Amino acid sequence: MEDCIFCRIVRGEIPSDKVYEDDRVLAFRDIEPQAPIHVLLVPKTHYASIMDIDSDTFGYMQTITRKLASELGIAEKGFRVVINTGEDGQQSVKHLHFHILGGRSMQWPPG
């Protein structure tokens, strides 16, 4: 069993501001938000990155992303989904996670 910070949040060992939870995923508010709405969506099974996840779970996370965008009120005006991967991609936690950001105009390029 993995012991990364997101695995510990999934197990309830570290508190989080939950937005959504089911048997496959957990969504919670980022503790350092980069937009008025900044939610992290993680699979409950540990996958180190997008390079490791199976297509069924990845597709399910996309479905939940759409659901959350609607529920959070950001679907109509738009939002951004970011998946950081590896060192150059600035992945700070080695547990796949989607950043769902909205509630303001996003700039491009991001950095």
The answer to whether the Cα torsion of 110, 60, 64, 93 is positive or negative is: negative
pTM comes to 0.94
Q: What pLDDT sits at residue 109?
A: 83
Tokens of 53: 């996840």
CATH number attached to the domain at 5-102: 3.30.428.10
Examine the residue annotation and report whether 97 is marked as an active-site residue of this protein: yes
What are the extents of the domains in the chain?
Answer: 5-102
If pLDDT is split at 50, 70 and 90, which confidence band does 3 have? confident
> What does the pLDDT average to over 10-16?
96
Q: Which of 46, 95, 97, 99 is catalytic?
A: 97
- CB-based contact 42:26 (threshold 8 Å): yes
DSSP 98: E
Please report which confidence band the pLDDT of residue 27 belongs to, taking 50, 70 and 90 as the band edges. Answer: very high
End-to-end CA distance of the chain: 34
Residue 99 burial by CB count (10 A; 0-12/13-18/19+): exposed, middle or buried? middle
List C-alpha distances in Å: 32 to 38, 60, 94, 101, 104.
Answer: 8, 26, 17, 12, 16
Q: List, for residues 40-99, the tens digit of each pLDDT value.
A: 999 999 999 999 999 999 999 999 999 999 999 999 999 999 999 999 999 999 999 999
Mean pLDDT of 23-34: 97
pLDDT surpasses 70 at 1: no
